[in-house]
Amino acid sequence: MRTKAETPPDAYPGPVDRRATVFGRLAISAVIVAAAFGVLLLGFQWLRAQTPTDNAQKALLSMAAILWGVGGIALIYVVLNYVVESFPPRLMRAVQPYIFVGPAMAVLAWYLALPTVRTFWISLHDRTGESFVGLANYVAVFTQRIMFEAFRNNLLWILFGASLTVVFGLAIAVLADRSRFENIAKSLIFMPMAISMVGAGVIWNFIYEVRDANSPQIGLLNAIVVALGGEPQAWTALVQPWNNLFLIAVMIWMQTGFAMVIFSAAIKGIPDELLEAARVDGANEFQVFFRIMLPYIGGTIITVLTTVVIFALKIFDVVMVMTGGQFGTHVIATQFYRQAFTNQNKGYASAIAIVLLLTVIPVMIYNLRHFSEEEAF
Amino acid sequence: MASVTYEHVYKRFGDVVAVNDLNIHIEDKEFLVFVGPSGCGKTTSLRLLAGLEEISEGNIYIGDRLVNDVPPKDRDIAMVFQSYALYPHMSVYDNMAFGLKLRKVPKAEIDRRVHEAATILGIEHLLDRKPKQLSGGQRQRVAVGRAIVREPQVFLFDEPLSNLDAKLRVQTRAELSKLHKRLATTFIYVTHDQVEAMTMATRIAVMKDGVLQQVDTPQMLYDHPANVFVAGFIGSPSMNFFDATLVERDGKLEVNSEGFRLEVPEPKATEWRPHAGGEVIFGIRPEHIHHKEYAPPGILGVPLQATVDVIELMGNEIFLYCLTKDNRSFIARVDPRVRAQPGDEVELLVNMENAHIFDPKTEAALAG
């Protein structure tokens, strides 16, 4: 047994002493962090108190605000990191990642997670948000004819839009890979990606434009049809549901470029020797494509497909700009918009939003799982 | 089982001539090795035969069939690639069965052939695995297995051992030789490693800059190289070369260089006499230079004085890096019992029986 005389307390602090040092350090840390936040707060108050009179002053003040903002964030990082590095090693390793990921998580929670929860809460209330109605809004979502139409249309968007985007993207990527004009072809296909959805909607409205049969057709499609001896058609107002396909064409036109670029990169990643081995083994070009290339880039196909499916589920701009949801072209997102802003029915609109979220989530989870498995990107 | 014939074959990539007027007739059941430094056109020659590159000019025959315009899948060949090129999404079994499935071979027959090949190669226990789960040596076997099950007319190998470690390479070399005997099919093999060529080939084709230098059996290539390039490429360490003149003095033929003078004994002298009076490149392999004390009996040894520069102990022998009197370096492979230090004068014996002379302008061999 050891006696006190043999172990001088100064040299070997007991557990109580050690805890005291940690607490001391934490106290100092808290003071430093508080000081840093204090500096930021004072800066904010000072900026707010300024009353610039001319443009030069305004410019100076905005510069100062930018510096203060960026510098302030940096200061918080530095201070927090400093504090965490003074922790005991195990605690430090556990906490340090959150210093850097924490702010992003906080922002996401505030702007994304919290509104989601709030939307769900609102969806359980009536149009004014005052009285609780339980699941009545959801019952309405799944029983109203207009919503069935929206669900059906979204299904069409996925079935035709997403799959054709992938098929065209893949076909163009494969064919361009063998062409001498690869870069020009790919640039042309990719170009629509640079146009906003609203812009694309306007452009395609012109293409589908219909005039009286007796006057000249200014819409490209009708001009062609008439030139070939046909009758001009109101494409986007045609007998439904096929007018939806003319809207879906816009998405395919825009998204094929995205799919093509990703597929093209994946195809270039296939080792030449692999394809040569298949050819020597007796495969023709179709067999090489379907039995070697497709399985090889299978992961990429799934990634692109899920991305485009999510895109199709959320589709809004094209429909809004081109038909506004008329002629049976409503989709979930346009129905949400109509309920929220035209009908002012917040509860019902929120229920639609939640349903849309729930349909997207499984695709997203699958996509994320796939990411982590394949370590694509 | 077929012969292969290259007839005036050219392959041009833009201005670069990768294969320049290649003419070889490869007999049925032969093990022909294309060897040469990188960029010499050996792999291109193989790819031309496989149909993976188009011929610019000339004809290639497999058996009696002209295959210039026949796509790879119809040439009835199998190829083992340097990277093995196993299909990553298929199991070992499916990798091997792929070519047979494409040819609509009955299932039972596929199964029989795959298992037979797997047994030969000792990979039966791996049939369910994916290529990713295999070691380098195992992948190499699967690649060979994939070729065997096809029972093709010609096997093509494109540097199949270069991704293996040294020990495995030696082992696989022997196994490939055994496989060749067992399958009794034409093997065409590309390598930059002359040891692989020497150990496995029935005939070796040495290439340089797209031009075929010499085709012959390993022993003939070693004993009678057609030119300086082949002489230097075959054998390790490579042959020593000296600029020299062949001089007739008092009825005796001598190789004269600034650093040494070597008498040419009979019967070599008779052979070389027509070139007397001219400049030559004198070539002698390191293994044909012996230390005086440990020279084997019965050789046509001619003395040569030199200074030791560097000594490399190999255990079973010693590489002596020596300098002639005019400071030209050469290598001698001598008996391990030789005790020498850098800077020492040594008495060496050059076995003139195995010496070679080449034309300094064309670099072609003069006399056998």
Same structural domain, A151 and A25 = no
| Chain B CB contacts of A296 below 8 Å | 88-89
- Report pLDDT digits (tens) over A183-204: 888 888 888 888 888 998 899 8
The answer as to whether A122 is a domain residue is: no
Same structural domain, A143 and A273 = yes
Name residues 288-327 of chain A within 8 A of B (Cβ). Answer: 291-292, 295-296, 298
| Chain B CB contacts of A273 below 8 Å | 81-83, 85
Residue A279 has its nearest CB partner, among B73, B82, B89, at B73
State whether A279 and B79 contact (CB < 8 Å): no
Chains A and B form CB pairs within 8 A to the count of 63
- Rounded distance between C-alpha atoms, residue B45 and residue B48, angstroms: 5
pLDDT band at A18 (very low <50, low <70, confident <90, very high): low
CA triple A203-A233-A213, angle to 5 deg: 105
Q: What is the CATH number of the domain that holds A305?
A: 1.10.3720.10
- Rounded distance between C-alpha atoms, residue B36 and residue B43, angstroms: 10
Same structural domain, A19 and A152 = no
Same structural domain, A256 and A333 = yes
Instruction: Give the pLDDT confidence score for residue A2 in this predicted structure.
Output: 45
The answer as to whether A40 is a domain residue is: yes
Name residues 85-104 of chain A within 8 A of B (Cβ). Answer: none
State whether A277 and B78 contact (CB < 8 Å): no
DSSP, res B364: B
When scoring B43, B48, B49, B87 by the number of chain A Cβ atoms within 10 A, the one with the most, hence best to mutate, is B87
Chain B residue with minimum CA distance to A286:
B102
The answer as to whether A70 is a domain residue is: yes
Same structural domain, A150 and A257 = yes
Instruction: Give the pLDDT confidence score for residue B227 in this predicted structure.
Output: 92
How far is residue A331 from each of residues A151, A326, B238, measured CA to CA in Å?
A: 7, 10, 78
Residue B85 has its nearest CB partner, among A274, A287, A295, at A274
- Domain count across chain A: 2
Task: Kindly state whether B79 is in contact with chain A, defined as any CB-CB distance less than 8 angstroms.
Answer: yes
Judged by DSSP in three states, B4 sits in strand
The answer as to whether A25 is a domain residue is: yes
Q: Taking Cα atoms as reference points, which of B149, B164, B151 lies closest to residue B196? A: B164
pLDDT beyond 60 at A14:
no
Same structural domain, A245 and A290 = yes
Q: Exposed (0-12), middle (13-18) or buried (19+): which is A22, by Cβ within 10 Å? A: middle
State whether B79 and A277 contact (CB < 8 Å): yes
The answer as to whether A217 is a domain residue is: yes
The DSSP line for A229-252 is T-----GGGSSTTTHHHHHHHHHH
Instruction: Give the pLDDT confidence score for residue A117 in this predicted structure.
Output: 93
Instruction: Give the pLDDT confidence score for residue A339 in this predicted structure.
Output: 85
Q: Which two tokens stand for residue B156?
A: 């093509």
pLDDT band at A7 (very low <50, low <70, confident <90, very high): very low
Same structural domain, A257 and A155 = yes
**A131 CA to chain B: closest CA distance, Å?**
57
The answer as to whether A121 is a domain residue is: no
**B89 CA to chain A: closest CA distance, Å?**
7
Same structural domain, A62 and A145 = no
Residue B102 has its nearest CB partner, among A274, A282, A295, at A282
- Rounded distance between C-alpha atoms, residue A256 and residue B206, angstroms: 51
Q: Taking Cα atoms as reference points, which of B357, B198, B205 lies closest to residue B282? A: B357
pLDDT beyond 50 at A106:
yes
Report phi then psi at A192, rounded to 5.
Answer: -55, -25
pTM: 0.75
pLDDT beyond 70 at A10:
no
- Rounded distance between C-alpha atoms, residue B156 and residue A271, angstroms: 19
Q: Is B77 left (phi over 0), alpha (psi -120 to 50) or beta?
A: beta
| Final residue of a structural domain among A53, A76, A101 | A101
Same structural domain, A48 and A192 = no
- Between A83-87, A120-124, B220-224, the lowest mean confidence (pLDDT) is in A83-87
Q: How much of chain A is in helix, strand and coil states, percent to nearest 5?
A: 75, 0, 25
Same structural domain, A222 and A331 = yes
Q: What are the per-10-residue average pLDDT scores of chain B (368 residues)?
A: 89 91 92 91 92 92 91 90 90 92 91 90 90 90 90 91 87 89 91 91 93 93 92 90 89 86 86 88 92 86 90 91 90 90 90 91 83
Question: Which residues span the domain enclosing A94?
Answer: 11-101
Name residues 226-285 of chain A within 8 A of B (Cβ). Answer: 271, 273-274, 276-284
Instruction: Give the pLDDT confidence score for residue A165 in this predicted structure.
Output: 93
pLDDT beyond 60 at A25:
yes
pLDDT beyond 70 at A11:
no
- Report pLDDT digits (tens) over A208-238: 888 777 777 787 887 888 888 777 777 777 7
Same structural domain, A49 and A163 = no
Cross-strand bridge partners of residue B248: B253
The answer as to whether A110 is a domain residue is: no
| Final residue of a structural domain among A58, A86, A101 | A101
The answer as to whether A3 is a domain residue is: no
Same structural domain, A354 and A271 = yes
Instruction: Give the pLDDT confidence score for residue A244 in this predicted structure.
Output: 85
Name residues 189-248 of chain B within 8 A of A (Cβ). Answer: none
Judged by DSSP in three states, B248 sits in strand
pLDDT beyond 60 at A151:
yes
What is the overall mean pLDDT for chain A?
84
Instruction: Give the pLDDT confidence score for residue A5 in this predicted structure.
Output: 46
pLDDT beyond 50 at A256:
yes
**B230 CA to chain A: closest CA distance, Å?**
30
**A291 CA to chain B: closest CA distance, Å?**
10
Instruction: Give the pLDDT confidence score for residue B240 in this predicted structure.
Output: 93
